[in-house]
């Protein structure tokens, strides 16, 4: 069901941790998440090419850097060459400086599982992973082989072990089905035959205190997810996910709750340029997880563009209506 985040009272079930395991977290964990990051050379990447490393994020650095973990969906491969492969169907490629921009803005981890992951082919997919690694930004949802792409990435912050999975249900190269395309060996597909068991196995192992799943899919520009996509998102929670972060529609969709856990049905855009007015408002979603696993969700309203900025007034009200959460001010910077 949908609730206003003023209540913030759902009690998430504790992770099944073996008796010999480490002590449970004692501090509140603060995460923030944003939607699609398009750092293509012709979009926000133009500022990067002029040498302004923080250009796309400068107006919102306080919020981005303030969380213990900051997440985004990287919609553009990062590579020195900007030429798309013939069957990619896409055109996005960010300059190498984009990796440093993400690191400088405070991004700890990005999803690289989406329909633009293959815009530059295998070479760009590999270069993206290498450049992010060198910059100190973790990536999830792609890898040097399918096994790596499907593995969770675990971050440790404030005594929490936070595991991230990332999958896509959208794919541009045509006329191939996903598993018949070369990209299937480098990008994680949202196949319930593996992702549900993987979440269950991680949950039962006690290796993570919190499990976050990033999903790229659904219908673009839709106000609500289609039934088949909603079933996937709820199924991830049934399998043991504590937080689901979805994207691809380019517009915000309501935050809903299942089993006391938030499902962000669409984070919308963040760094992007599109003409539909609905794509031009978004949010930095904030999730606070207390030691007892109660979760509180709020949002910082944002105007989308090559340099996102804070939204106020009627624009902020529109963001609130779309998300059905209470809007909040930016969180303090990390100590």
Write down the pLDDT at residue 43: 86
pLDDT for the residue 9: 30
335 residues of the chain, pLDDT tens digit each: 333 332 223 333 333 444 445 688 999 999 999 999 999 998 888 889 888 899 999 999 999 999 999 999 999 999 998 777 877 766 899 999 999 999 999 999 999 999 999 999 999 999 999 999 999 999 999 999 999 999 999 999 999 999 999 999 999 987 678 999 999 999 999 999 999 999 999 999 999 999 999 999 999 999 999 999 999 999 999 999 999 999 999 999 999 999 999 999 999 999 999 999 999 999 999 999 999 999 999 999 999 999 999 999 999 999 999 998 766 555 555 55
pLDDT for 47 equals 86
Q: What is the sign of the dihedral through the CA atoms of 2, 7, 8 and 13?
A: negative
| Amino acid 330: pLDDT | 58
Q: Does domain 29-323 have CATH number 3.40.630.30?
A: no
Alpha carbon distance 239, 235 (integer Å): 6
The pLDDT value given to residue 23: 84
User: What is the CB-side half-sphere exposure of residue 212 using CA atoms within 13 A?
Assistant: 27
Tokens of 229: 């996509």
pTM: 0.91
Question: Residue 85's pLDDT is what?
Answer: 82
């Amino acid at each position: 069901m949908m609730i206003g985040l003023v209540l913030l009272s759902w009690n998430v079930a504790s992770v099944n941790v073996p008796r010999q395991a480490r002590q449970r977290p004692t501090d509140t964990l603060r995460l923030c998440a944003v939607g699609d990051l398009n750092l293509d050379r012709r979009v926000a990447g133009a500022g990067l090419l002029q040498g302004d490393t923080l250009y796309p994020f400068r107006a919102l650095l306080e919020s981005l850097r303030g969380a213990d973990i900051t997440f985004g969906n990287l919609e553009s491969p990062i590579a020195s060459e900007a030429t798309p492969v013939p069957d990619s169907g896409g055109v996005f490629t960010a300059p190498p400086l984009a990796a440093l921009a993400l690191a400088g803005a405070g991004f700890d981890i990005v999803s690289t599982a989406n329909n633009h992951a293959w815009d530059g082919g295998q070479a760009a997919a590999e270069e993206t992973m290498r450049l992010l690694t060198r910059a100190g930004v973790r990536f999830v949802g792609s890898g040097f082989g399918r096994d790596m792409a499907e593995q969770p990435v675990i971050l440790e912050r404030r005594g929490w072990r936070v595991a991230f999975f990332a999958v896509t249900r959208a794919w541009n190269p045509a006329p191939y089905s996903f598993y018949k395309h070369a990209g299937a060996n480098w990008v994680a597909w949202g196949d319930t035959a593996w992702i549900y068991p993987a979440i269950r196995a991680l949950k039962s192992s006690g290796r993570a205190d919190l499990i976050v799943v990033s999903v790229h899919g659904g219908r673009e520009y839709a106000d609500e997810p289609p039934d088949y996509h909603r079933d996937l998102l709820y199924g991830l929670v049934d399998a043991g996910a504590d937080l689901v972060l979805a994207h691809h529609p380019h517009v915000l969709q309501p935050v809903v709750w299942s089993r006391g856990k938030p499902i962000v049905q669409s984070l919308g855009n963040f760094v992007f340029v599109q003409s539909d007015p609905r794509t031009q408002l978004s949010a930095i979603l904030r999730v606070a997880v207390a030691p007892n696993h109660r979760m509180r969700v709020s949002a910082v309203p944002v105007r989308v563009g090559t340099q996102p900025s804070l939204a106020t007034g009627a624009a902020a009200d529109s963001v609130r209506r779309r998300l059905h959460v209470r809007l909040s001010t930016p969180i303090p910077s990390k100590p």
